[in-house]
């Protein structure tokens, strides 16, 4: 197994950060292999999604999460900024991992698919992402 961690700065507002180029750079170090790329975020308040970016879908995802998980005082988990409890529910909807096929050393994503870090937690501006290649 081949593995690497990267650091992603997400800032102080909810964000969808495209990890696709970083994932492909990681794979370049492994050569022309087939297998599975596992992407994992070791945080209790972030997730990984496969979606289209740049055409509004990333903003639509954040808007949908705001509707499903409002940033208000309804949450029992109350440390951090107001409404932070919702950030701890996020990984149940956007899991902290994704697995993508790799063919000949390249991500086997669909035309409009990207691997994205989803982070609604405004209290933690820096995230770790772990890439692991499981060869076939």
Q: Which domain holds residue 83?
A: 2-135
The whole-number pLDDT of residue 78 equals 77
Mean pLDDT of the region 13-36? 96
> What are the tens digits of pLDDT across the range 41-74?
999 999 999 999 988 999 999 999 999 999 888 8
Q: Distance between CA 62 and CA 119 in Å, rounded? A: 9
The whole-number pLDDT of residue 61 equals 97
Mean pLDDT over each residue of the chain, to the nearest integer = 94
> What are the tens digits of pLDDT across the range 107-120?
999 999 999 999 99
Identify the CATH number of the domain in which residue 63 sits: 2.60.120.460
The domain total for the chain is: 1
The pair of three-digit structure tokens given for residue 68, joined into one six-digit string: 């499903």
> What values do phi and psi take at 83, rounded to 5?
80, 10
The whole-number pLDDT of residue 54 equals 86
Q: Distance between CA 49 and CA 2 in Å, rounded? A: 22
pTM over 0.85: yes
> What are the tens digits of pLDDT across the range 91-109?
999 999 999 999 999 999 9
Side-chain-facing half-sphere of 14: CA atoms under 13 Å? 22
Q: Which residue reads 């050393």 in tokens?
A: 105
Mean pLDDT of the region 7-21? 95
């Amino acid at each position: 197994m081949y593995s690497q961690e990267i650091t992603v700065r997400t800032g102080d507002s909810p964000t969808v950060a495209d990890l696709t180029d970083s994932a492909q750079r990681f794979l370049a170090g492994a050569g022309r292999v087939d297998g599975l790329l596992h992407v994992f975020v070791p945080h209790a308040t972030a997730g990984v999604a496969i979606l289209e970016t740049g055409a509004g879908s990333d903003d639509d995802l954040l808007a949908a999460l705001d509707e499903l998980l409002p940033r208000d005082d309804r949450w029992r988990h109350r440390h951090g900024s107001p409404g932070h409890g919702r950030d701890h529910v996020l990984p149940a909807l956007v899991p902290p991992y994704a697995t993508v096929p790799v063919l000949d050393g390249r991500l086997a994503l669909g035309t409009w698919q990207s691997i994205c870090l989803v982070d609604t937690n405004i209290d933690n501006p820096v995230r770790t992402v772990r890439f692991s290649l499981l060869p076939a």
